[in-house]
Amino acid sequence: MKDHVYKLIELTGTSTTSSDQAIENALKRAHKTLKNLNWFQVTETRGSIEKGKVAHWQVTIKVGFTLED
């Protein structure tokens, strides 16, 4: 089996809907330019507040993808 090398980039996805959706939004955007995304890990969950409610969920993730040779 080959010795792959992976790169990790850090993204903050946002969503007005949910924390999970904020992650999906970040992945959807990354997928536009990077086709070989493998995994993600959450590094921080934040959000902005308006009138006592979450306005935007802001979830920061690291996304790993395979580097081609």
The residue ranges that bind a copy of itself (CB under 8 A) are 1, 3-16, 18-20, 22-32, 37-42, 44-49, 51-54, 56-57, 60, 62-64, 67, 69
Minimum CB separation of residue 54 from a copy of itself in Å reads: 6
Cα torsion angle, 28, 32, 35, 40, sign: negative
Minimum CB separation of residue 16 from a copy of itself in Å reads: 7
Minimum CB separation of residue 66 from a copy of itself in Å reads: 10
Element holding 47 (H helix, E strand): strand 37-50
Question: What are the distances in angstroms from CA 33 to CA 13, 36, 37, 69?
Answer: 16, 9, 10, 18
